[in-house]
Amino acid sequence: MREINQFAICNELPAAMHQRLVAYADAHWSMRKGMDAEAVLRGFPRCARSDVMMLLYSDLLKAVPLFVGSPPGFIEDCACAFEPNIYLQGDYLMQKGEVGGEMMFIRLGSVIVVDDDTVLRALPPWERIKAAGTEGNDASELQFVSVVDFCLSASLNPNLNLPAVAGCVVAIRGEKEFIGEGALVDGKRRSMSILARSTFCHTLHITRSSFDYILPHYPSIQKRITRIHRTRETSIRPSLRSTPEAVPAAKHRRPSDEAYR
């Protein structure tokens, strides 16, 4: 923490950016207790690393439907390929239009799947709007200062009457689910954006190179992932077809970024 504070002071970082770095450090500490498992295990034989990783991620490996009933070799390969990461609420895990380089398993927390085009029709970036009040919710005083705020409020307050939000948040994914498989299955750019919904979100990544190395050895798993992706696509796309023609997507900043300018 001292290094972060010194770095922020030396580089004259804005207070909001400094606080966000501290929040990342706190989240990493709470999840890793100051230890970097990858660094500690580097140099050990694969059998030792595999045993440790299987133990560390046993909660996820036992609960994710994709792993239940899968060949032991596949589970072991994935455990060794996992790359942990932590996101704070409002962070983009993935952004529509970018080249997909990994799929992610959600270990802790939740995310929202967002259709950027629908969001931009509902709320131009950084334009302040007020929501209509509803019975039992004083929404008339709510203000949204960014696309991220807008989507998070829609997902965290489902009882609010926000007509403009229809179609923006197309899905919520929680613990023990995986996301981002589409770009690896189809080789296409991301078709949706994904934001961290919980205070912090702990994910385990499998990169494209690991994905391409592991899956050819397990064709049944490859077919299962493809089938899940197709099912997700068909459940989302009908609602999007009924929306007006999309405006070009734009890069969005996090709410705190406005303070950096």
> H-type helices in the chain, by residue range?
2-10, 15-32, 37-41, 46-56, 58-63, 72-81, 116-122, 147-156, 181-186, 208-214, 219-241
Q: Please check the confidence at residue 87 and state whether its pLDDT lies above 60.
A: yes
Q: What does the mean pLDDT of the chain come to?
A: 75
> What's the pTM?
0.72
Q: Say if residues 109 and 196 touch (Cβ distance below 8 Å).
A: yes
Q: For the chain, give the percent of residues with pLDDT over 70.
A: 69
Q: Say if residues 85 and 131 touch (Cβ distance below 8 Å).
A: no
Q: Say if residues 196 and 87 touch (Cβ distance below 8 Å).
A: yes
At 139, is the pLDDT very low, low, confident or very high (cuts 50, 70, 90)? very low
- In this prediction, residues 228-250 reach a mean pLDDT of 56
* Cβ-based neighbour number of residue 105 at 10 Å: 23
CA distance 218 to 206: 15
Q: Please check the confidence at residue 62 and state whether its pLDDT lies above 50.
A: yes
Q: Which string of DSSP letters, residue by residue, matches 192-215?
A: SEEEE-SSEEEEEEEEHHHHHHHG
* Per-residue pLDDT, 245: 36
- In this prediction, residues 185-202 reach a mean pLDDT of 86
Query: Over the stretch 99-129, which tens digit does the pLDDT of each residue have?
Result: 888 999 999 999 988 876 665 555 444 343 4
Domain boundaries, the chain: 36-260
- In this prediction, residues 3-21 reach a mean pLDDT of 85
* Cβ-based neighbour number of residue 38 at 10 Å: 12
* Per-residue pLDDT, 138: 45
Q: Please check the confidence at residue 198 and state whether its pLDDT lies above 60.
A: yes
At 203, is the pLDDT very low, low, confident or very high (cuts 50, 70, 90)? very high
**Burial (0-12, 13-18, 19+ Cβ within 10 Å), 84:** middle
Q: Please check the confidence at residue 241 and state whether its pLDDT lies above 50.
A: no
The CATH fold of domain 36-260: Jelly Rolls (2.60.120)
